Amino acid sequence: MKKISILTFGCQMNRADSERMLGEMQIDGFELTENLDEADLILVNTCCVRESAEEKIFGKLGELKHLKTKNPNLILGVTGCMAQKDGSKILEKARHVDFILGTGKISKLRSIVAEIESNRKKIIDTALDEFADTRSISIARENSINAWIPIMYGCDNFCTYCIVPHVRGRERSREPIQILREIETCSAPEITLLGQNVNSYSHGFADLLRAADKIESIKRIRFMTSHPKDLNDDVINAIANGEKICEHIHLPIQHGSNRILKRMNRGYTVEKYLDLAQKIREKIPNVSITTDLIVGFPGESEEDLDLTLEMLKQIRFDAAFTFIYSRRSGTPADQFSDQIPDEIKHSRLNRLMEVQNRISFEINSAMKDQSVEILVEGESKSDSKIWTGRTRTNKIVLFEHRDESIGDLIQVKIIQPQTWILKGVIE
Ligand code: SAH
Ligand code: SF4
Ligand code: F3S
């Protein structure tokens, strides 16, 4: 058996792609290994959303070099968003790489590997001109609990800071029938419908949610990411009325200043977002709302930061992922002349996180002694007796394992809520 290792960076879309690449290579007799030393094929599936991601990946590529010296037959491929963005430039920095495959070309992976196996030449394929047809692609899911189900590819929003539309191409939606068939056959108890902006799914996202809710073999439905400018009443109602659709909406606001939101090209104001959040909370009891925030966007003043801190206190997110603005060449914001110095960005990030962490802790603390349903995910990383599961609202719960199995839905009582996790006991 030939062995394959895949190192995945970036978002869920990349993880979904890695599962497809593994599925494809299994057809040609490759078997997954975690041990890089014994791999015949290593894929580094990359992200370029921030500079820090790219640095980490180049570090990893450097570490892999010695494996090529040890095993001259090893094939090393770079795939995903950074491959799409930088193409042949990656070969200049990392000469030991054998091939570069862009984001729209998973269906070409098998033939590229076969070609390199037979004549050891370098291959670069980053054309983004075709619809990523996934109908015939095999999938080897890494996670037996949650199946990543892409419903659309690409993005048309062109937020001025963001590289994603440039490396994932224009928005393309998959046919509902194809998606529903994939859900029916996935054998995981939970699915996550994936897209950069699921609310602009072109065949109707609310209809898709309702159709998925009727599929018997699954227990829970999640989805991400929602864009505030496109999340409509029909979708909110579908979530509220759905039996399996989880009460969690990841709804990135990005900033609390209208001036900055405009410069980001986000298409909504803080007031509109507040109205939307209020409507969601009225219609969906116990919903959790999480968000993404960018700090240090060009031209951000102290007042803009204060507006963001105020907004956080007003909306009270369950959790927020906070990012320092990272310049991405080729995006409009990279050309803005009023870039913020690094030290200021870092100190603003700390102020933001302090406020949000307190809010997350307060919201979680209110769950003490509550009984919640969790889907059992398995052993925690640190202790085999302590297992983890997730609430419908996407909060992680740690509990002492008895005889539950992975994939069970169980009731736990929350005894010790913390900022990022909850500790509970089985009821
Ligand atoms: N499509 C999703 C998320 C895409 S990227 C959405 O629109 O919300 C995930 C997050 O990375 C974004 O929400 C944003 O907060 C962050 N991000 C994107 N580009 C960035 C950049 N140049 N610098 C810092 N953070 C960035
Ligand atoms: Fe990037 Fe904006 Fe598209 Fe999200 S919606 S992927 S932040 S351009
Ligand atoms: Fe995802 Fe990173 Fe690409 S966030 S879409 S893997 S740039």
- Give the range of the structural domain holding residue 407, as residue numbers without chain letter: 371-426
Ligand number nearest CA of 254 is 1
* pLDDT at site 128: 78
Q: Is residue 132 part of a domain?
A: no
Give residues (CB < 6 A) around ligand 3: 10-11, 13-14, 47-49, 80-81, 163-164, 167-168
Task: Specify if 186 maps to a domain.
Answer: yes
140 falls within a domain: no
Is residue 404 located within the same domain as residue 260?
Answer: no
| Pair of tokens at residue 360 | 């997350």
What's the CA-to-centroid distance between 173 and ligand 3, angstroms?
Answer: 18
Question: Looking at ligand 1, which atom is closest to the CA of residue 49?
Answer: 19
Segment 292-297 mean pLDDT: 98
Residues with CB under 6 A from ligand 2: 155, 157-159, 162, 164-165, 196-197, 227
Ligand 2 atom showing the smallest separation from residue 155 Cα: 3
- Domain boundary among the residues 339, 365, 391 is at 365
pLDDT at 130 over 60: no
Same domain, 175 and 311: yes
Q: What confidence category does residue 127 fall into, taking pLDDT thresholds of 50, 70 and 90? A: confident
Q: What is the CATH number of the domain that holds 303?
A: 3.80.30.20
Ligand 2 centroid – CA 258 distance (Å): 17
* CATH code, domain with 381: 2.40.50.140
Probe residue for ligand 1, chosen from 11, 12, 162, 336 as the CB with the greatest number of ligand atoms within 8 Å: 162
Expressed in angstroms and rounded, the spacing between residue 336 Cα and the centre of ligand 1 is 18
- Quote the ligand 3 centre to 117 CA distance (angstroms): 29
* Rounded average pLDDT over 299-321: 98
Q: For residues 154 and 292, state if they share a domain.
A: yes
Cα 385 to averaged position of ligand 2 atoms, centre (Å): 40
Q: What is the mean pLDDT of residues 404-417?
A: 96
Q: What percent of the chain has pLDDT over 70?
A: 98
Provide the pLDDT for residue 133. 55
State mean pLDDT over 322-331.
97
The confidence score (pLDDT) of residue 408 equals 95
Which atom of ligand 2 has the smallest separation from the CA of 196?
6
Ligand 3 atom closest to the Cα of residue 9 is 6
Displacement of CA 314 from its chain's centroid (Å): 26
**Of 64, 96, 125, which residue constitutes the final position of a domain?**
125
Q: Which residues of 306-333 are buried (b: 16+ CB within 10 A; e: fewer)?
A: ebbbebbeebebbbbebbbbbebeebbb
Residue 132 has pLDDT above 60, yes or no: no
Name the pLDDT band for 78 (thresholds 50, 70, 90).
very high
Closest residue by CA, ligand 1 atom 4: 196
Q: Which of 365, 387, 410 is the last residue of a domain?
A: 365
Locate the ligand 2 atom nearest the alpha carbon of residue 265 and give its number.
Answer: 2
Three-class secondary structure assignment of the chain: CEEEEEEECCCHHHHHHHHHHHHHHHHCCEEECCCHHHCCEEEEEECCCCHHHHHHHHHHHHHHHHHHHHCCCCEEEEEEHHHHHHCCHHHHHCCCCCEEECCCCHHHHHHHHHHHHHHCCCEEECCCCCCCCCCCCCCCCCCCCEEEEECEECCCCCCCCCCHHHHHCCCEECCHHHHHHHHHCCCCCEEEEECCCHHHCCCCHHHHHHHHHCCCCCCEEEEECCCCCCCCHHHHHHHHHCCCECCEEECCCECCCHHHHHHHCCCCCHHHHHHHHHHHHHHCCCCEEEEEEEECCCCCCHHHHHHHHHHHHHHCCCEEEEEECCCCCCCHHHHCCCCCCHHHHHHHHHHHHHHHHHHHHHHHHCCCCCEEEEEEEEECCCCCCEEEEEECCCCEEEEECCCCCCCCEEEEEEEEECCCEEEEEEC
**Average pLDDT in the 1-6 region?**
95
Same domain, 74 and 177: no
pLDDT class of 365 with cuts at 50, 70, 90: very high
Residues 58, 170, single domain; the answer is: no
329 and 398 together in one domain: no
Count of domains for the chain: 3
Burial (Cβ within 10 Å: 0-12, 13-18, ≥19) of residue 354: exposed
Report the atom number in ligand 3 closest to the C-alpha of 82.
7
CA angle 29, 30, 35 (to 5 degrees): 155
Label residue 219 by pLDDT band (50, 70, 90). Answer: very high
CA of 416 to the centre of ligand 2 (A): 36
**Residue 131: its pLDDT value, please?**
55
Residue 139 falls inside a structural domain:
no
Q: How, if at all, do strands 396-400 and 319-324 pair?
A: unpaired
pLDDT of residue 139: 86
Regarding whether 96 and 165 lie in a shared domain, the answer is no
Question: Which value, in Å, is the radius of gyration of the alpha carbons in the chain?
Answer: 22
pLDDT tier for residue 138 given thresholds of 50, 70 and 90 = confident
| Ligand 1 shell residues, CB under 6 Å | 49-50, 161-162, 164, 196-197, 225, 227, 252, 254, 292, 294, 323, 325-326, 328
Mean pLDDT of 405-419: 96
**Dihedral pair phi/psi, residue 20, rounded to 5°:** -75, -40
* In-domain check, residue 131: no
* DSSP-derived pairing of the beta strands 75-80 and 386-391: unpaired
Residue 351 shares a structural domain with residue 394? no
Is residue 321 over pLDDT 80? yes
Q: Give the range among 84-93, 132-141, 310-319 with minimum mean pLDDT.
A: 132-141
pLDDT value for 150 = 94
Any domain includes 404: yes
Does one domain contain both 21 and 91? yes
Q: What is the pLDDT of residue 187?
A: 86
Q: CATH number for the domain including 33? A: 3.40.50.12160
Please check whether residue 265 lies inside any domain of the structure. yes
Q: Do 16 and 52 have their domain in common?
A: yes
Instruction: Please write the tens of the pLDDT for every residue from 183-202.
Output: 999 989 999 999 999 999 99
197 and 336, same structural domain? yes
- Residue 339 belongs to a domain: yes
Average pLDDT for the chain: 95
Q: Quick one: 193 and 336 in the same domain?
A: yes
Ligand 2 atom at minimal distance to the Cα of residue 156: 3
pLDDT of residue 196: 95
